[in-house]
Structure 1
Amino acid sequence: MAARTNERTGLDKFNRIGNVTNAIFHAVFILLALVCLIPILVVLSVSLSSEDSIRHTGYHLFPTAISGDAYHYILQQGTMISRALGVSVLVTVVGTVLGVLLTASMGYAISRPNYKLKGLLTWIVFIPMVFNGGLVSSYYINSNLLGLKDTVWALILPLAVSSFNVIICKTFFRSTIPDGLIESAEIDGASQLRIFFSIVMPISLPVLATVGLFLCFAYWNDWFQSMLYINNQNLYSMQALLNSLMSNVDALAKNASTMGISYAQLVATMPKESARMAVAIIIVAPVAAAYPFFQKYFISGLTVGAVKG
């Protein structure tokens, strides 16, 4: 009887400790969520505020004077915004498809135990994760040697393959695809390309979706490649346009020659601060809307990369 009482007391104490621990974790995660959410709400609030209220009262979590001038102004810049949005969509789609294909093929090659160049290629993939060639050498190769400057390929090729994504694919292929399956296909006379596209790719959708999402968000959020290689404003992506706005409040006005009003008048009436934030909201909105539907793939990608291959 006493033993049963002590056991019940121990369970009650354990449950109390567990409840306190859960409460602490919930509080920490709520705090972290607020840290991530509040800046976005501030940006949204500023984009919906009038320029006068921003000038007199600064940034607030809730707008003191609601105004849609920034979004109205952006709609007036339809040609420039649509062109930048088209560049972002094109780069994201083409880069993601090309990056997934290159990354998966490289990961599959170094995952096969009987491949003779497996060790060499593994080191070639691993070394860039530790040592970087530097910005000057990358710029010289991409700009002068490959001639990518002021082309859309300058926004695609430098980000298409990363060592981290290759290692994720290699680990998945090595731990998931049995050697017997590949050997059976080889006995039936299938070529390596046939095996890769007809057998390996269809059963590797989880890792392909994970790498694809990593690449998709990387391309969508990238502005650095535009800053390095793009001088032609017709090739500016949405992110490059936002970066130009953040460093120069007159960037939109310089591209507004089709509006039929003078440059000085446009600069005087332009909603500068709210326009910046409105462009930021337009860029963030697609990713924020799509992320909840693909969150599980991010989690699976992290767990796949956590297993040593």
Structure 2
Amino acid sequence: MPAGRRFTIGTLFIYVALALFALICLLPMLLTLAVSLSDEDSIIAHGYSLWPERWSLDGYRTIFVNSALIFRGYFVSIVVTAAGTLLAVLITALAAYPLANPKVKYRNVLSLYFFITMLFNGGLVPWYLMCVKLGLTNNLLSLIVPMLMFNAFNLFLVRNFMEGLPAELRESAYIDGANDLRIAFRIYMPLCVPVLATITLFYALAYWNDWFNAIMLVDDKKLYPLQYILFQLRSHIQMLEMLPNGARTEYTLPAESVKMATVIITIGPIVFLYPYLQRYFTKGLVIGAVKG
């Protein structure tokens, strides 16, 4: 604590309130973990509980029956998320730079062009036919490229942030003989780290949680991302639960524990990524959103 600042009752109240708020935010995750380690019969009988009546690893055993497929899915998801996020952030930043430059002709028309994509889209069939025509089927590119058609919200977030930077920076660089590419990478990108970190988190979450592209464009099981593999597993369990009683076994399928175990398994990389980006998150979001 800085010298001269006393520990008051008000400060104690703030710390206690923050600690309680942090505990409240942590409770859903603890509940999810507890249910994932619960026996299915106890969940059916007693509902969700922070302390299971009977402990069980059936949910995790069900998921890891084919552990090679799960680990391969993890690898595919990590590669797709890392490559896709890097490319998406780069494309978004390079598209935002000219839109933030007042000397670019028709930049407002271009902004309107991108804005329209937030309101309308071509539909599923044209999207699928275009992906097939471009060869985006049964390869890693089919999981990366379709989502590179960047979110216009992220584009305007970066553009607004860049418009808030002093115009003198660009003018001084022009005088020194720098071109726009050098200005973008050597001056603007380092200054835009907060907003770039913000959209990095957005893109990473979108790529990590994506299973739709795998359904539409991938038939090779070796290229299935983790989310799609777990989606299939839950669908199979739901299908088995719908069978007539005479067709079922006496074994209770761990439907609820599998759902929660799925959450625990899939949040790992995002939990590790967020602490590195969270200090930039609020600053980048607020600064990029307040300037029109």
Same fold (TM over 0.5): yes
1:160-179 matches, within 5 Å, as: 160=148, 161-176=150-165, 178-179=166-167
Query: Among residues 253, 266, 271, which one is paired with 1:283 in the alignment?
Result: 266
The one-letter amino acid of 2:284's match is G
What is the SS of the residue equivalent to 1:201?
helix
1:248 matched residue in structure 2: 236
The one-letter amino acid of 1:208's match is L
After alignment, is 131-140 or 115-124 more displaced? 131-140
* Structure 1 position 304, deviation (Å): 2.2
The one-letter amino acid of 1:94's match is A
1:48 aligns with 2:42: no
Q: Is the 8 A contact 1:71 1:278 kept in 2?
A: yes
Cα-to-partner distance string for 1:155-213 (whole Å, 9 max, x where unaligned): 2222231100110111111111x222222222322222222222221222112111111
* Structure 1 position 104, deviation (Å): 0.2
* Structure 1 position 139, deviation (Å): 2.2
The one-letter amino acid of 1:154's match is S
Q: Distance in 2 between matches of 1:94 and 1:124?
A: 27
1:196 aligns with 2:184: yes
Structure 2: any 5+ residue segments left out of the alignment?
1-9, 240-249
Q: What TM-score do the two structures reach when normalised by structure 2?
A: 0.79
Q: 1:146 to 1:33 in 2, by over 3 A?
A: farther
1:1-309 matches, within 5 Å, as: 34=24, 39-54=28-43, 57-72=46-61, 74-75=63-64, 77-142=66-131, 144-160=132-148, 161-176=150-165, 178-249=166-237, 273-309=256-292
Q: Is the 8 A contact 2:237 2:253 kept in 1?
A: no
Q: Distance in 2 between matches of 1:303 and 1:68?
A: 43
Q: Distance in 2 between matches of 1:290 and 1:97?
A: 14
Cα-to-partner distance string for 1:107-137 (whole Å, 9 max, x where unaligned): 0011111112412311111111122322232
What is the percent sequence identity of the aligned residues?
Answer: 43
Q: Distance in 2 between matches of 1:170 and 1:249?
A: 46
- Number of aligned positions between the proteins: 269
Q: Is the 8 A contact 1:242 1:276 kept in 2?
A: no
The one-letter amino acid of 1:138's match is W
What is the SS of the residue equivalent to 2:164?
helix
* Structure 1 position 214, deviation (Å): 1.3
* Structure 1 position 87, deviation (Å): 0.8
Q: 1:308 to 1:270 in 2, by over 3 A?
A: same
The one-letter amino acid of 1:296's match is R
Q: Distance in 1 between matches of 2:257 and 2:50?
A: 14
Q: What TM-score do the two structures reach when normalised by structure 1?
A: 0.75
Q: 1:229 to 1:38 in 2, by over 3 A?
A: farther
More RCO (CA 8 Å, sep 6+): 2
2:3 matched residue in structure 1: none
The one-letter amino acid of 1:71's match is Y
Q: Is the 8 A contact 1:48 1:67 kept in 2?
A: yes
Q: 1:94 to 1:131 in 2, by over 3 A?
A: same
Q: Is the 8 A contact 1:69 1:271 kept in 2?
A: yes
Q: Distance in 2 between matches of 1:139 and 1:57?
A: 46
The one-letter amino acid of 1:129's match is M
Q: Is the 8 A contact 2:195 2:281 kept in 1?
A: no
Q: Distance in 1 between matches of 2:253 and 2:75?
A: 24
Q: Distance in 2 between matches of 1:77 and 1:199?
A: 49
Q: Distance in 1 between matches of 2:284 and 2:260?
A: 32
Cα-to-partner distance string for 1:27-61 (whole Å, 9 max, x where unaligned): 9x95x985x76554443223212344345555444
Structure 1: any 5+ residue segments left out of the alignment?
1-18, 252-266
